[in-house]
C-alpha cells in the first residue's frame, strides 16, 4: 500500500459530506478510541459518514487506493475490528436516526445507533425488539453477529426480527436485502458479521413491551453458589418464554441494597426480566428467592429502558477487556463445578462470569434459516476478563483461557460470533458450523477480493 498523498485526501473531501480526520486532527484520537482499551490502532484516515452516499464515497476511495478498511458502528466489539492501523476507518457513529412506525410495529434504524438510541425511540410507543444488555452497544455490530438479550426467549434473536437492510457492497453499489430482494445476501447478513458490506439502514420488527417491566437482581453469598447454580439450571429449563433469568458471579460492587461488608467479596446473582404482566411475574419468580439465603435483592417494576441501562456502569468504556465464550445446550454438574472453580479465583475485581439464558423462541428457528445457526444454544457463557492496566494482561488472559479450555468438553457446538476475541480466528468456522461453507460461497459472490476483512473474517477461498 502506497502512502496517501494530501492531494488524494483533498480530492476525497470534495465529494464527501461528512468530516475527514487524519492523525493530528483535533478529534482524531477521540474518534479512533473504542470500548476495549486493549485495542490501540491508528488509521491513516477516518471518514465520519453522514449518509449512505458518504459510505459509497469512502468505500470507493479505499478500493481505489487499496486501503485496509474498518467499520465503526458503536465501537463496542470485543475484538476491536472497528479500528485499523494505517487504513481507512469508516465511522458510522454520526448516523443515528431511528424512525418508528407504531401501526406496522416496525423501526428503521441507522448503523450509528446504540441500543439506548433504538430503545428510547421504540419505547416511546411501548415497543421493542430483542437487543443486548448494555445500552452503549452498537445496534449494527450486535445485529450482524446474531444479537440476544432479555427479550430473546419471547421474541427470538435480534436477527430473527430483522426484516431488511440497505447495504453498500465492496464494489460501491447500494442494494437492499430482504426475504424477497437479494435474499441470499439477507441470509448472510443475519449472523455473518460485517463480511458482505456496510449496512446503512436496518429494518426491524417491533413487539409490545412495557414500557414498565418487572426486573432486577437477587444476590446470594458465594458459599451458596453451587446450590444456586444447580437450581438455576433446572429452573431455566422449564420457565415460560416471557421470563428470562441470567446468572452472574463476580466480586460484589457497592450496590446500595447490599450490606457494606460484602462489597468486594465474591457473590452470585440472578438477574431477571419478565416481559408480561408484573403481577404474574412476581408469582413466577418467587421460587428464585428460595435458591439460598439472599444477601439482598432489588426487584421491582421499572421502565424497560432503565433496566437496559442497569449494567452500563460495570461495562463502561476505557477498561482492558478479554473474553472467552461457550454455548451450552444444558448446564450439567461438571460444567457448574468448573464455573465455580474459576469464579473463586477471579484475577481482578471487575472480572465476571455470566450465563445468558436464551432458548425459548431462539431455538424454534431452523439452524439453516440464516447465517446464525446455533439454535441448540440454551445458554451463552461469557468469561469476561476486565481490568485497568496492561500489567494485569498476562494473569487475566491466562485465567480466561484456562477456564475456557476446562469447560470445553461440556459445551455444545457453535459459538456466539460477537464474543470472539481478536486471537480466535481459528474458531470462526466452528462458530458457524454447517452454514460456514454457504457463507464462503456468498463471500465469493459479494466480496471476492476480501475487501471487508476487518471482522470475524470469512475468506472467499
Same domain, 251 and 370: yes
113 and 18 inside one domain: no
Same domain, 30 and 71: yes
- The answer to whether position 41 is within a domain reads yes
In-domain check, residue 336: yes
**Backbone angle region of 210, left / alpha / beta, with phi > 0 → left and psi within -120 to 50 → alpha:** left
Residues 292 and 395 in one domain: yes
Q: Is residue 460 part of a domain?
A: no
Over the stretch 302-358, which tens digit does the pLDDT of each residue have? Answer: 999 999 999 999 999 999 999 999 999 999 999 999 999 999 999 999 999 999 999
351 and 384 in one domain?
A: yes
- Which of residues 74, 91, 108 is at a domain's end? 91
Which CATH number goes with the domain that contains 151?
Answer: 3.30.465.10
Distance CA 273, CA 232 (A): 15
User: Tens digits of per-residue pLDDT, 349-401?
Assistant: 999 999 999 999 999 999 999 999 999 999 999 999 999 999 999 999 999 99
Residue 280 in domain: yes
Question: Which helix or strand (DSSP H or E) is residue 89 part of?
Answer: strand 88-91
Domain-ending residue, one of 91, 119, 148: 91
454: in domain: no
- Give yes or no for a contact between 407 and 137, defined as CB atoms under 8 angstroms apart: no
Answer yes or no: is 355 within a domain.
Answer: yes
CB 382 within 8 A of CB 323: yes
CATH number of domain containing 274: 3.40.462.20
Q: Is 317 found in the same domain as 267?
A: yes
Beta strands in 116-237 (DSSP E): 127-128, 162-168, 174-178, 198-205, 207-208, 212-221
Residues 70 and 203 in one domain: no
Same-domain status, 110 and 180: yes
Same domain for 338 and 397, yes or no, is: yes
In a domain, 121, yes or no: yes
How do the pLDDT tens digits run along the chain, 461 residues long?
A: 567 889 999 999 999 999 999 999 999 999 999 999 999 999 999 999 999 999 999 999 999 999 999 999 999 999 999 999 999 999 999 999 999 999 999 999 999 999 999 999 999 999 999 999 999 999 999 999 999 999 999 999 999 999 999 999 999 999 999 999 999 999 999 999 999 999 999 999 999 999 999 999 999 999 999 999 999 999 999 999 999 999 999 999 999 999 999 999 999 999 999 999 999 999 999 999 999 999 999 999 999 999 999 999 999 999 999 999 999 999 999 999 999 999 999 999 999 999 999 999 999 999 999 999 999 999 999 999 999 999 999 999 999 999 999 999 999 989 999 999 999 999 999 999 999 999 999 999 999 999 999 999 999 98
Domain of 298? 212-425
437: preceding bond cis by omega (within 30 degrees): no
Please give the distance of CA 364 from its chain centroid, rounded to a whole number: 21
Last residue of a domain, one of 91, 117, 152: 91
Read off the CATH number of the domain in which 34 is found.
3.30.43.10
* Number of domains the chain is built from: 3
Both 371 and 401 in a single domain? Answer: yes
Let me know whether 252 and 236 are in one domain.
yes
**415 in the same domain as 270:** yes
Whether 372 is covered by a domain: the verdict is: yes
DSSP letters, 312-338, are: GGGG-TTSEEEEEEEEES---HHHHHH
Cβ atoms of 69 and 84 within 8 Å: the answer is: yes
Amino acid at each position: 500500500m502506497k502512502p496517501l498523498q494530501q492531494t488524494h485526501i483533498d480530492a476525497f473531501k470534495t465529494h464527501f459530506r461528512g468530516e475527514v480526520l487524519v492523525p493530528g486532527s483535533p478529534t482524531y484520537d477521540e474518534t479512533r478510541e473504542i470500548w476495549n482499551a486493549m485495542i490501540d490502532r491508528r488509521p491513516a484516515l477516518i471518514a465520519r459518514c453522514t449518509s449512505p452516499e458518504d459510505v459509497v464515497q469512502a468505500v470507493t476511495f479505499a478500493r481505489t487506493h487499496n486501503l485496509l478498511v474498518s467499520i465503526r458502528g458503536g465501537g463496542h466489539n470485543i475484538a476491536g475490528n472497528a479500528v485499523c492501523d494505517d487504513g481507512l476507518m469508516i465511522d458510522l457513529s454520526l448516523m443515528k436516526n431511528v424512525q418508528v412506525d407504531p401501526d406496522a410495529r416496525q423501526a428503521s434504524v441507522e448503523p450509528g445507533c446504540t441500543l439506548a438510541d433504538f430503545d428510547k425511540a421504540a419505547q416511546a410507543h411501548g415497543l421493542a425488539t430483542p437487543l443486548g444488555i448494555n445500552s452503549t452497544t452498537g445496534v449494527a455490530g450486535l445485529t450482524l453477529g446474531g444479537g440476544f438479550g432479555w427479550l430473546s426467549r419471547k421474541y427470538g434473536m435480534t436477527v430473527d426480527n430483522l426484516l431488511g437492510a440497505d447495504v453498500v457492497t465492496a464494489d460501491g453499489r447500494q442494494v437492499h436485502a430482504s426475504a424477497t430482494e437479494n435474499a441470499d445476501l439477507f441470509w448472510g447478513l443475519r449472523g455473518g458479521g460485517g463480511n458482505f458490506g456496510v449496512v446503512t439502514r436496518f429494518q426491524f420488527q417491533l413487539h409490545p413491551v412495557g414500557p414498565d417491566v418487572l426486573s432486577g437482581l437477587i444476590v446470594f453469598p458465594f458459599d451458596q453458589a453451587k446450590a444456586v447454580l444447580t437450581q438455576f439450571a433446572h429452573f431455566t429449563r422449564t420457565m415460560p418464554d416471557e421470563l428470562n433469568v441470567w446468572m452472574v458471579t463476580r466480586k460484589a460492587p457497592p450496590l446500595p441494597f447490599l450490606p457494606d461488608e460484602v462489597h468486594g467479596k465474591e457473590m452470585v446473582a440472578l438477574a431477571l426480566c419478565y416481559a408480561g404482566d408484573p403481577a404474574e411475574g412476581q408469582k413466577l419468580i418467587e421460587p428464585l428467592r428460595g435458591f439460598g439465603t439472599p444477601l439482598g435483592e432489588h426487584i421491582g417494576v421499572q421502565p424497560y429502558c432503565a433496566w437496559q441501562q442497569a449494567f452500563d456502569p460495570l461495562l463502561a468504556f476505557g477498561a482492558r477487556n478479554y473474553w472467552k465464550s461457550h454455548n451450552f445446550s444444558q448446564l450439567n454438574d461438571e460444567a457448574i463445578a468448573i464455573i465455580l472453580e474459576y469464579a473463586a479465583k477471579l484475577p481482578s475485581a471487575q472480572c465476571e462470569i455470566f450465563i445468558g439464558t436464551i432458548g425459548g423462541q431462539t431455538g424454534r428457528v431452523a439452524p439453516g434459516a440464516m447465517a446464525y445457526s446455533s439454535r441448540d444454544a440454551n445458554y451463552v457463557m461469557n468469561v469476561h476478563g476486565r481490568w485497568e492496566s496492561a500489567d494485569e494482561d498476562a494473569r487475566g488472559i491466562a485465567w480466561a483461557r484456562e477456564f475456557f479450555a476446562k469447560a470445553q468438553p461440556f459445551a455444545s457446538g457453535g459459538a456466539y460470533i460477537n464474543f470472539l476475541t481478536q486471537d480466535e480466528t481459528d474458531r470462526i468456522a466452528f462458530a458457524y458450523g454447517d452454514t460456514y461453507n454457504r457463507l464462503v460461497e456468498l463471500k465469493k459472490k459479494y466480496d471476492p477480493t476480501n475487501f471487508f476483512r476487518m471482522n470475524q473474517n470469512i475468506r472467499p477461498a
